[in-house]
């Protein structure tokens, strides 16, 4: 088993499988907490300046390490804003990619190994300008210089205070919650839960029906990797041998989505942002292999006739869109 797989399983067990944190990690957690607090206070007090861009900036982030549904929400936001007459652009750090010193414009043709898996998906699904760079300020400046956009969405970056933001949206995994409630490395939290009191909108990704804003991911039509014009309903996989593969932040959610539609499968899990080789996929043999879209953008060059992926769509609470537009209008009036 690759070392990355071992680390993924170990951290998941420590953070989500146990109620109490490992005592050996608590002193390191305190160092992390103190350092993060000092950095946050430095930006809030103005001792370290944040960069303000000439258009409103919406940050979609989370408090925990790993996937909560930020990218599907980012795609939804871009499509929603376009439908309301905005010209959105998207910036990202580009996790899983190999970005050079200069910001990179990502298109549907950009290899995921270069631009990152999530930015490539966003570019393919939205048609919006997408730029990536570890320094999101540089990504935003490059995008604004090259494209006529009037609002920016940053996929992740809630803890990246160098870029001044106008609206903060936090996405919470309603099923896994905050794990054992501890900060890194003792737990999955990047910031204390109290940070939610400072954001503008909190979106619970399922598992929290009483929340003000909720999001569900839905998908039922698989796409063939080798021939993307070929589609197949998930129900078409029922009764035949099937392997399901996921290298995302919460793979169990993907498997549960399939099971909810009556699909039975053998599962194989890889770490988030994993870079696949042909050998990694050979476990399926000639039987059908179904993966997430995030995995697919890294596997198109490895495609075989029996490889499929499942695109999903975010569905938000009815109030979310109008409330977001009200926030944007307020921001524009303040500028």
pLDDT over 80 at 2, yes or no: no
- Tell me the mean pLDDT in the region 181-193: 96
52-74, pLDDT tens digit by residue? 999 999 999 999 998 899 999 99
Q: What is the mean pLDDT of the chain?
A: 94
Give the pLDDT band (50/70/90) at residue 28.
very high
Whole-number pLDDT of residue 138: 96
pLDDT number for residue 209: 76
Between 19 and 229, name the one with better pLDDT.
229
| Residue 101 binned pLDDT confidence (cut-offs 50, 70, 90) | confident
DSSP symbol at 197: G
Residues 6+ apart with CB under 8 A from 191: 36, 40, 63, 158, 159, 183
- d(CA 292, CA 222) in angstroms, rounded, equals 10
Strand partners, 289: 243, 307
Residue 12: the pLDDT is 76
pLDDT in tens, 229-246: 999 999 999 999 999 999
41 burial via Cβ count (<10 Å: 0-12, 13-18, 19+): exposed
In the predicted structure, residue 13 carries a pLDDT above the cut 70: yes
Is residue 1 over pLDDT 70?
A: no
Specify the length of the chain in residues. 335
Name the H helices within 213-291.
251-260, 278-281
Instruction: Give mean pLDDT, residues 89-105.
Output: 86
Q: Which carries the bigger pLDDT value, residue 95 or residue 323? A: 323
pLDDT over 90 (residue 19): no
Q: Across residues 128-135, what is the average pLDDT?
A: 96
Answer whether CATH 3.40.50 is correct for domain 3-215+317-334: yes
The pLDDT-based confidence of 97 (bands split at 50, 70, 90) is: confident
Where does the pLDDT of residue 291 fall: very low under 50, low under 70, confident under 90, or very high at 90 and above? very high
Asked whether the predicted pLDDT for residue 91 surpasses 90, the reply is: yes
Residue 7 confidence (pLDDT) above 90: no
């Amino acid at each position: 088993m690759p070392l990355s797989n071992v680390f993924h399983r170990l951290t998941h067990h420590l953070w989500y499988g146990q109620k109490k944190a490992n005592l050996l990690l608590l002193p390191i957690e305190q160092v992390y907490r103190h350092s993060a607090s000092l950095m946050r206070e430095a930006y809030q007090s103005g001792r370290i300046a944040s960069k303000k861009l000439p258009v409103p900036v919406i940050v979609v982030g989370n408090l925990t390490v790993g996937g909560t549904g930020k990218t599907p929400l980012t795609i939804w936001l871009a499509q929603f804003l376009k439908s309301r007459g905005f010209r959105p652009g998207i910036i990202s750090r580009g996790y899983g990619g190999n970005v050079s010193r200069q910001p990179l414009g990502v298109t549907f043709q950009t290899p995921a190994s270069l631009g990152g898996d999530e930015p490539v998906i966003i570019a393919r699904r939205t048609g919006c300008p997408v730029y990536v760079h570890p320094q999101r300020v540089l990504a935003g400046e490059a995008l604004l210089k090259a494209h006529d956009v009037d609002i920016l969405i940053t996929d992740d970056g809630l803890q990246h205070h160098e870029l001044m933001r106008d609206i903060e949206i936090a996405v919470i995994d309603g099923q896994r919650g905050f794990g054992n409630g501890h900060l890194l490395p003792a737990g999955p939290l990047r910031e204390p839960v109290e940070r939610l009191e400072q954001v503008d909108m909190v979106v619970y990704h399922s598992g929290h029906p009483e929340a003000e804003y909720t999001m569900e991911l839905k998908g039922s039509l698989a796409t063939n990797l080798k021939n993307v014009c070929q589609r197949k309903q998930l129900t078409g996989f029922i009764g035949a041998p099937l392997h399901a593969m996921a290298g995302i932040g919460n793979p169990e959610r993907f498997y549960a989505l399939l099971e909810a539609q009556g699909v039975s499968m053998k599962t194989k899990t890889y770490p988030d942002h994993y870079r696949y080789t042909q050998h990694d996929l050979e476990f399926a043999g000639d039987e059908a292999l179904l993966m997430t879209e995030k995995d697919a953008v890294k596997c198109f060059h490895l495609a075989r006739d029996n490889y499929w992926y499942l695109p999903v769509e975010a569905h938000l609470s009815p109030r979310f869109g109008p409330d977001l537009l009200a926030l944007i209008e307020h921001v524009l009036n303040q500028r």
